[in-house]
Amino acid sequence: MTKSKLKAHRPNFGLLLIVLLGAFLGSACTNYSSDSYPASTPILLGLSPDGSTSANINAISTYGNGHTIRIAAQNYEPGFQGYRLFEGASESAVQSADATTGIDCGALLQTPVLGVVYTIEVRTDSSASASTALCVVPHILTTGNFVALRSVYYRGLLDPESNGPSSNAIQVP
């Protein structure tokens, strides 16, 4: 054999050392989890199902050609894409609705990273009227129905879209 052929068949000891060292350190490391990353649940700000609070702040209110929904949101999970709105005849119907039956928000106008009050606007056109609007849902809400939100995020190639747990449900005025 020539010298170049011997060199081609010689194992790369540096790579072997890195693999062995990684295996040793990996078995000694306990600061990891195989649990999935928990999704942050948005909270509709009404304390009661009719959307009222003791501070007279309505979690959902009507205006011009739609509704505003006030939420507390803080989405820090990787792959966060936005929110999905669910509407139904009862609290349990919207909270247990199939994930594909909701209506997605349009493009995010800002990323909810602080635990402050944001609004989601539900209206037929796609332009937001408030500076705190996260997005606009192209839909018309029905008075008396209930609404809830879920976070939507990207998990990976085998599970391209996932929904977080449902928010509380409030009734449309």
DSSP codes joined into one string, 48-89: STTS--TT---SEEEETTEEEEEEEE---STTEEEEEEEEES
Which pLDDT score, from 0 to 100, does residue 142 have? 92
What's at 129, amino acid-wise?
S
Assess if residue 22 is contained within a domain.
no
Assess if residue 88 is contained within a domain.
yes
Confidence tier at 9 by pLDDT (50, 70, 90): low
Q: Which two tokens stand for residue 75?
A: 């989405």
* Distance from chain centroid for Cα 73: 9
Instruction: Give the whole-number percent of the chain exceeding pLDDT 70.
Output: 62
Distance between CA atoms of 151 and 144, rounded to whole angstroms?
24
Enter the pTM of the model: 0.71
pLDDT digits (tens, 9 = 90+) for 72-119: 887 766 778 888 999 999 999 999 999 888 999 888 888 776 767 888
Assess if residue 97 is contained within a domain.
yes
Please, are residues 160 and 80 in contact by the beta-carbon 8 Å criterion?
Answer: no
Assess if residue 90 is contained within a domain.
yes
Which pLDDT score, from 0 to 100, does residue 74 have? 77
Which range marks the domain in which residue 143 is found?
43-171
Assess if residue 132 is contained within a domain.
yes
Q: Which two tokens stand for residue 88?
A: 């139904």
C-alpha distances out from residue 75 to 2, 29, 81, 113, Å: 61, 28, 9, 6
What is the number of structural domains in the chain?
Answer: 1
Task: Calculate Rg over the CA atoms of the chain.
Answer: 24
Assess if residue 3 is contained within a domain.
no
Distance between CA atoms of 74 and 40, rounded to whole angstroms?
7
pLDDT digits (tens, 9 = 90+) for 16-75: 556 655 555 555 555 544 555 556 778 888 766 565 555 566 788 888 788 999 888 877
Assess if residue 116 is contained within a domain.
yes
Which pLDDT score, from 0 to 100, does residue 103 have? 93
Assess if residue 107 is contained within a domain.
yes
